[in-house]
Amino acid sequence: MHTFEFKIADAFFEQVEYSLIEKGNVDVTLNLEKKETMMIGDFTINGKVAASCDLCNEPVEVDIEGGYQLIFKFDDKPTDDETLIIVYPEEFEIDIRENLLELISVSLPSRTIHEDGECDEEMLELLNEYRVNADDEDLEDEDYEEAEDTEEESDDDYEYIDPRWAALKNLGNKKDE
């Protein structure tokens, strides 16, 4: 077993043209176990990266961590299996930059947003100006259904129900009668 340690910094992310990550400081440990026909790579990722906030599009610092395994197979034929990375006989080095970027990217949470009060207020005001919500006068009161909130229920919490879905829901009720 061989252990490799990498420190991924801003220069790494700047080389990638369309990366989800703008900057970062990530520590990667790779434990590489060599077998007769393959190598098994166990990656451990831990660090912080700068990504765009999904709400206001400003940079936000995100903690990431994860453990991943990639299998590098010695072969001379390509494969459709996404879990295998083919290492051709004429190769004497393995370039894992693309793999590292993918592993760091999948370590990002599904939604990256600032903590409460840290988003760009000007952008939030602009978003609220164009948001369709319960305050619209064009929508009728019957198109709203009280939202289920497990923590705290309030008379002001309403969820918009599309009238077409409401009509379909009523069809199910008529069938039961």
Over the stretch 94-109, which tens digit does the pLDDT of each residue have?
888 888 888 898 888 8
Which amino acid is it at 22?
E
pLDDT at 50 exceeding the cut of 80: yes
Average pLDDT over residues 48-55: 86
At 65, the pLDDT band (50, 70, 90 cuts) reads very high
If we measure between CA atoms, which residue out of 70, 75, 79, 71 comes closest to residue 88? 75
What's the pLDDT score for residue 5?
94
What's the pLDDT score for residue 137?
46
CA dist 177 and 173 (Å) reads: 7
Which amino acid is it at 170?
N
Angle CA 18–23–29, to nearest 5: 100
If we measure between CA atoms, which residue out of 49, 59, 46 comes closest to residue 120? 59
What's the pLDDT score for residue 28?
94
Tokens 């590489």 found at = 32
At 3, the pLDDT band (50, 70, 90 cuts) reads very high
Contact 49, 104 (CB under 8 A): yes
- Domain boundaries along the sequence of the chain: 2-106, 132-176
At 79, the pLDDT band (50, 70, 90 cuts) reads confident
What's the pLDDT score for residue 133?
59
Percentage of residues in the chain having pLDDT higher than 70 = 80
Task: List residues bridging with 48 in a β-sheet.
Answer: 25, 63
Pairing of strands 21-34, 38-52: antiparallel
Q: How far from 145 is each of 135, 139, 149, 160, CA to CA, in Å?
A: 14, 12, 12, 7
Percentage of residues in the chain having pLDDT higher than 90 = 19
Note the pLDDT tens digit of each residue in 109-148: 888 888 887 788 888 888 888 777 545 444 444 444 444 4
